[in-house]
Amino acid sequence: MSESYCLFEREPNEIHMLLGAEVIGNLLKGEEGKHLRGGLVAVNTHLGWTVMGKLKVEKEKHSNVLLSLYVSDNCIKHLWSLDVLRIKEPCEKETRIELEEAAPDHFARHVSRDEEGRYVVSSLWIQDHPPLSNCENLAERRLKNCVRSLERSGNLGNDEEVFHSWLAEDIIEEG
């Protein structure tokens, strides 16, 4: 190999060859290598200076920490179990045709109207689910906090037209 020949063409940082441990031993000149930062070693070979080693890179482990915190509070088996959520797969009970035939009756049994004329639909995918609690107090508290926040920022009046149109369309009601 001539002294004028150079393995890199555009810039010295280009990688043109990866050598395994079984090959690099034959190319070493016998000089001691120079330790570089990051866990790499520069070694003089018959091809020129060669950098080798495993680069130490710190990786962010946010997802690992989050996952381990979640897993530590739960039995791992339950993470994959739909039974924990009381969800049953339809194929366990009936075929698709049987489900289609039963759908109108099922709809009639699970959809009703309350005293104000609003539709009430039970959770069709969860069997024997207890009735959900009334969250009216929670919704009212959130609304009051939202109104206070809009008043403080001076934006309460900006949304007044939208709220009036929603009242007119019975999307919302006065409390």
pTM, entire model: 0.27
Task: Return the structure tokens found at 17.
Answer: 């060859």
Per residue in 4-53, pLDDT (tens digit) is 555 555 665 666 667 777 777 777 777 888 888 777 888 888 777 777 77
Q: What is the pLDDT of residues 140-173, one digit of tens each?
A: 888 899 888 888 888 877 777 788 888 898 888 8
Kindly provide the b/e burial profile for residues 10-37, where b requires at least 16 CB atoms within 10 angstroms of the residue's own CB.
eeeeeeeeeeeeeeeeeeeeeeebeeee
Q: Residue 102: CB partners within 8 Å, gap ≥ 6?
A: 94
DSSP, collapsed to helix, strand or coil, labels residue 119 as: strand
Contact 125, 87 (CB under 8 A): yes
Kindly list the domain boundaries of the chain, sorted by start residue. 21-83, 94-130, 135-169
Q: What is the mean pLDDT of residues 125-136?
A: 69
